[in-house]
Amino acid sequence: QEIIGKALEIQTLYSKQIWEIFSKLVARFGSEYNVVFDVKEEDLKDVASDRIVNAILQVRNEEITILPGFDGKYGEIVLFDDEQKIKEEDTFDPKQSSLSDFF
């Protein structure tokens, strides 16, 4: 579900759209493991959009980044499409104020 959610840019993993696609994939190919690791790209394209298939292939080929969780926040996967967004967010680097800034 996380891969589909990331590919479609849907934050809620329990959305109806994600579950419909996930259910179709598992019904057709037997298990989530088969979908992610075994099914041929052409067969995946029969059931899912190119964007979802590309996301599955990125996971399969270990072309993703995994951001670890912290302080009650779950970790998350980052697809290539998301890496540019993260780089843009990381460019904002505010300097922490020190006590001497106030005197």
pLDDT in tens, 7-36: 999 988 889 999 999 999 999 999 999 999
Distance of alpha carbon 56 from alpha carbon 73, whole angstroms: 24
pLDDT in tens, 40-51: 999 999 999 999
Give residue 1's Cα distance to chain centre: 9
Distance of alpha carbon 77 from alpha carbon 85, whole angstroms: 13
| Model pTM score | 0.73
Task: Assess contact for 29 and 35: CB atoms under 8 A.
Answer: yes
Domain parsing of the chain, residue ranges: 2-90
Query: What value, to the nearest 5°, has the Cα angle with vertex 44 and ends 81 and 10?
Result: 40
